Amino acid sequence: MFFPKDLRYTPEHLWVRQEGEVYYAGITDFAQEQLSDIVYVEVETEGQTLEKDQIFGTIEAVKTLSDLYMPLSGEIVAFNKELVRKPEQINKIPYQAWILQIKPTQIEQWDTLLTAEAYQAIINANND
């Protein structure tokens, strides 16, 4: 499994990438593999400001329906509407198929996100 070192991660299996004042978030390669075939992504919170760990949407796979949790407090400035038509992009290219863009209200929360190494350690510990 691949975890890019330039991203940060949450224990809930989201990745976060900073690009200027906007942060992109999606689900990790590990998460998409665990979910299996993703068939639907729903985000009805676009334009809202949510706190870290609040539910911002859901992701549906053949096997299950899972809530998605905010990795950082902030305003959801965009939802990747391409995923409505092609949710399987998350399975094919999880680190390019972002789900939302966030304008953070508490930038210091970036420092609380996991590095690739720390996230890998959590995955390894849970699979032992």
DSSP state string for 16-69: EEEETTEEEEEE-HHHHHHH-SEEEEE---TT-EE-TT-EEEEEEESS-EEEEE
Torsion, Cα 48 51 54 123, to 10 degrees, reads: 130
d(CA 39, CA 53): 24
- Model confidence pLDDT, tens digit, residues 6-59: 999 999 999 999 999 999 999 999 999 999 999 999 999 999 999 999 999 999
- Residue 104's beta-bridge partner residues? 74
Q: What percent of the chain has pLDDT over 70?
A: 99
CA distance 7 to 56: 20
User: How many alpha carbons lie under 13 Å from residue 28 in its C-beta half-sphere?
Assistant: 25
> Average pLDDT of 105-109?
97
